[in-house]
C-alpha cells in the first residue's frame, strides 16, 4: 500500500491502546487514514494518539458491554476500515472450573462486539461501494485442540472466523471485503500475561510452549505483525486468512 493509500478514509481499530492494535492504528495513520482509537484505557489510547502521524479520535469504550458497543456505533459516524483487534484471553482454566459468566464475557468482547460493530458500519460501506473489515484471529482457531485451558478464547476465535467467511461470501461483488488476520506470536501484554499467573490455568505443556517460544525468540514485534495486515488491506481479497510474516 502506498504511503497515502488511505487518505480520506476513516479507520476504526479496537484494542488500539497497546500491542498489535496500537501498531495497526499507527500504521493506518501513517497511510493517511483518520483513525478512531477504541479500548477501555483512555491513557493508553491517548499515548497512541500522541504517537500517530495523523488525525485520530480517542473513543474509550468497554467492548464487553453491549450498551457501550451500541453507543460507539452511534458516535463514530462513517467508517471505511474496521479492524476488530481487541480480545481477552480470560477465562483461562479447566472448563469445569470456569464461571459461565466469565465465558459469556469473553464471548461478548471477542465475538459479539466485532459482529455488532460490523453490522453498524456495513450499511455505510455498502452505500459507498467500498469497505474493509478485518477480524484478528489466532492460531487457536486453526488448531482448536491446541490451547488446552483456553476454551473460551478458542471458541470465540473459531466462531469469529466462521462469521468472517460466511459474511465475505454474502458480500462478494459489493466492494466491501471481510478477511481474517492471524497475527503470529507477538511480544505484547497478552503474551506476558499468559506466561505469568494467567497461564497457570493452561495445561502444563501448553504453558511451557509459551515460555519456550519467548525464550527462543519466536515472538515478533507488534510492528512486524501489523505490516502483515496493512500490506494486504487494499487487495481485493475477500474471505481469506492473511498470516503474519514468518507464520502460517
Ligand X SMILES: NC(=O)c1ccc[n+]([C@@H]2O[C@H](COP(=O)([O-])OP(=O)(O)OC[C@H]3O[C@@H](n4cnc5c(N)ncnc54)[C@H](OP(=O)(O)O)[C@@H]3O)[C@@H](O)[C@H]2O)c1
- Selected from 3, 4, 7, 41, the binder of ligand X by CB under 6 A is 41
Which of positions 67-86 make contact with ligand X (CB under 6 A)?
85-86
> How long a stretch of residues is the chain?
248
Binding of ligand X at residue 189 (CB under 6 A)? Answer: yes
Q: Which of these is catalytic: 23, 81, 153, 244?
A: 153
Q: Which is nearer to ligand X, 67 or 96 (CB)?
A: 67
Per CB under 6 A, does 21 bind ligand X?
yes
Q: Does 136 bind ligand X (CB under 6 A)?
A: yes
Is residue 32 a contact point for ligand X (CB under 6 A)?
no
- The question of whether 153 is a catalytic residue gets the answer yes
In the complex, the smallest distance separating the C-beta of residue 127 from ligand X, rounded to whole angstroms, is: 27
Q: Is residue 109 at the binding interface for ligand X, with CB under 6 A as the rule? A: yes
Q: Which of residues 151-170 bind ligand X (CB under 6 A)?
A: none
CB of 84 to ligand X, least distance (A): 8
Q: Residue 191, interface with ligand X (CB under 6 A)?
A: yes
- Cell numbers at 243, concatenated: 498470516
Q: Which residues lie near ligand X (CB under 6 A)?
A: 14-15, 17-21, 39-41, 44, 62-64, 85-88, 109, 136, 138, 183, 185-186, 188-191
Active site members: 153
Amino acid at each position: 500500500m502506498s504511503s497515502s493509500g488511505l487518505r480520506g478514509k476513516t479507520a476504526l481499530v479496537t484494542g488500539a491502546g497497546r500491542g498489535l492494535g496500537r501498531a495497526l492504528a499507527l500504521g493506518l495513520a501513517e497511510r493517511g487514514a483518520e483513525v478512531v482509537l477504541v479500548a477501555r484505557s483512555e491513557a493508553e489510547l491517548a499515548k497512541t494518539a500522541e504517537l500517530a502521524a495523523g488525525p485520530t479520535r480517542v473513543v474509550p469504550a468497554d467492548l464487553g458491554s453491549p450498551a457501550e458497543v451500541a453507543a460507539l456505533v452511534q458516535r463514530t459516524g462513517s467508517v471505511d476500515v474496521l479492524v476488530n483487534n481487541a480480545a481477552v484471553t480470560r477465562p483461562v482454566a479447566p472448563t469445569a472450573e470456569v464461571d459461565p459468566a466469565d465465558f459469556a464475557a469473553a464471548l461478548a468482547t471477542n465475538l459479539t462486539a466485532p459482529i455488532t460493530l460490523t453490522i453498524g458500519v456495513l450499511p455505510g460501506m455498502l452505500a459507498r461501494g467500498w469497505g474493509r473489515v478485518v477480524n484478528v484471529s489466532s492460531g487457536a482457531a486453526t488448531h482448536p485442540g491446541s490451547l488446552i485451558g483456553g476454551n473460551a478464547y478458542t471458541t470465540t476465535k473459531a466462531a469469529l472466523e466462521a462469521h468472517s467467511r460466511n459474511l465475505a461470501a454474502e458480500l462478494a461483488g459489493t466492494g466491501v471485503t471481510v478477511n481474517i488476520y492471524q497475527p503470529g506470536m507477538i511480544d505484547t501484554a497478552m503474551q506476558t500475561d499468559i506466561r505469568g499467573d494467567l497461564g497457570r490455568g493452561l495445561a502444563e505443556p501448553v504453558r511451557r510452549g509459551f515460555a519456550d517460544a519467548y525464550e527462543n525468540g519466536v515472538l515478533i514485534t507488534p510492528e512486524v505483525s501489523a505490516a502483515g495486515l496493512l500490506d494486504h488491506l487494499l487487495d481485493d481479497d475477500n474471505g481469506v486468512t492473511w498470516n503474519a510474516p514468518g507464520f502460517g
